[in-house]
Amino acid sequence: MADPLIKIALVGHTNTGKTSLLRTLTRDTTFGEVADRPGTTRHVEGARLRLDGRPVLEWFDTPGMEDSIALLEYLERLDRPGERLDGPARIRRFLDTPEAHGRYEQEARVLTKMLDCDAALYVIDARDPVLGKHRDELAILAACGRPLLPVLNFVNAPAHRADAWRDAMARLGLHAVVEFDSIAPPLDGEQQLYAKLGVLLDRHAGALARLSDSLAAQRRERHAAAYELVADLLIDVAALHVSSASDEAALAAASGQLRDQVRQREQTCVNALLALYNFRATDYTDDALPLQGERWGMDLFHPQALKDMGVQVGMGAAAGAMAGAAVDLMSAGLSLGTGMLIGAAAGGLWQGVEKLGKRVAGKLRGYREISVDDAVLRLLALRQRQLIEALERRGHAAREPLRLDLPADDAWRKGPLPDALKEARSRPEWSALGKHYEDSDRRKRMLHELAKTLASAPLPAE
């Protein structure tokens, strides 16, 4: 027998982040309207979560309550002499009055939905002080006779009052409280929320637990898929070799072609990661990468970008304005592919294109192979791991650009490159950026192993 649909309303004062919370819980950046002005949501909106293809939970975003003090006084005046109405009966009587369609129309929408739902999340902006109007709101909402779970939003703000709100909720008999910042939710935030809802809604506890388990499984699958995307990027770049004549102009043109291909390939990976986590490329500025901050906006091949991420660079790169082109100095006369291992061994040669051209001009004849230096591969891995970790922690209500710190990742800065990338150096056919791409079984196995290596470092602790 199918589980009955669980209906839960999000209620509370105006501008406490109810719509923001629903955006994050549904992973939908387009749900409703989010703004800093009060009263943005003026009507009830819904969103469903599915389990095994069937809707199992329906959220309802309701307008903010604005005049709870006056409404509570009005409700008390509705009692007739000798009557002893319970809370839901009193609320239903109010909904039949002209005032419910006039002065208190917005509050009436909230209460109508409350009576129609199994429970409600009372969303609190933890930055706000606890005031009398909030206590009156809770008294009115409690009169609907539905379980209430307070949710402390924006708890990552430096001046939040989460402890004061917990004390206030306890005084009102609400001891189950969840902290869930809709801008930067905790990694286990959904599990905590559904576990506490399961306690309040005992007959739905099994369905809520299965939904929580499903969402956790989806998160693990996204995590694994993200690192598969990054592994694919790194193999494409490591295996990429561009053939060039030995003259300076040809080397400069080929190096420029290689850098452009790598930049575009990284951008493709970034876009795929944003789509995987259901964020939009348009959420970010139109830069070389759709991310903010000096390190991210800087050219992938600029030596300062490498130094800022803690990747060691050679003297030639540190002095010049270009980095990352490793030229096979010993492959004169060899066909593309034969000299790949030689090119990988020469990967430590860092020079500007002009200086490098002068260095080899007159010494060698024939074609050269240009590939990406190991240090640039390290930078690519660091940047993408940093982006994944940021997306894992980003709520879908966030509107500010990503703020990324220098990752604590010495293994990718200084340690040996994984075997998969070393092998990719000798396999030009593994690069989808080349002309003879082959998605072989061996490439698939190496990609999977590299993805596991990339994902092996745990996410930073809360």
Q: What is the pLDDT of residues 102-146, one digit of tens each?
A: 999 999 999 999 999 999 999 999 999 999 889 999 999 999 999
The CB-side HSE value for 437 (13 A sphere, CA atoms) comes to 12
Phi, psi of 159 (to 5 degrees): -110, 35
Q: In the prediction, which pLDDT does 280 show?
A: 77
Q: Could you please report the per-residue DSSP string of 159-226? A: T--HHHHHHHHHHTT----EE--SSS--TTHHHHHHHHHHHHSGGGHHHHHHHHHHHHHHHHHHHHHH
Q: In the prediction, which pLDDT does 300 show?
A: 63
Tokens coding 240: 């990429």
Three-state DSSP class for 61? strand
Q: Give the number of other CB atoms < 10 A from CB of residue 16.
A: 26
* CB distance 325 to 259 below 8 Å: yes
User: 330-389: per-residue pLDDT in tens?
Assistant: 333 222 232 332 333 333 333 333 333 433 333 344 677 788 888 889 888 988 998 898
- Residue 13 DSSP symbol: B
Predicted TM-score of the model (pTM): 0.81
The CB-side HSE value for 54 (13 A sphere, CA atoms) comes to 11
Q: In the prediction, which pLDDT does 81 show?
A: 78
* Residue position matching structure tokens 């982006």: 387
* CB distance 451 to 233 below 8 Å: no
* CB distance 303 to 318 below 8 Å: yes
* CB distance 185 to 395 below 8 Å: yes
Alpha-carbon distance of 396 to 30, in angstroms, equals 9
Q: In the prediction, which pLDDT does 312 show?
A: 63
Cα distance between the two ends of the chain: 39
Q: In the prediction, which pLDDT does 354 show?
A: 39
- Rg of the chain over all Cα atoms, to the nearest angstrom: 29
The CB-side HSE value for 155 (13 A sphere, CA atoms) comes to 20
Tokens coding 172: 């009102």
* Residue position matching structure tokens 């005084």: 171
Three-state DSSP class for 405? coil
Sign of CA dihedral 271, 20, 166, 402: positive
Residues in the chain with pLDDT values less than 50: 32, 34-42, 285-298, 315-365, 459-462
Alpha-carbon distance of 6 to 111, in angstroms, equals 17
Q: In the prediction, which pLDDT does 52 show?
A: 87
What is the architecture, at CATH level 2, of domain 6-200?
3-Layer(aba) Sandwich (3.40)
> What residue ranges do the domains of the chain occupy?
6-200, 239-328+366-456
CA 425 to centroid of chain Cα atoms: 32
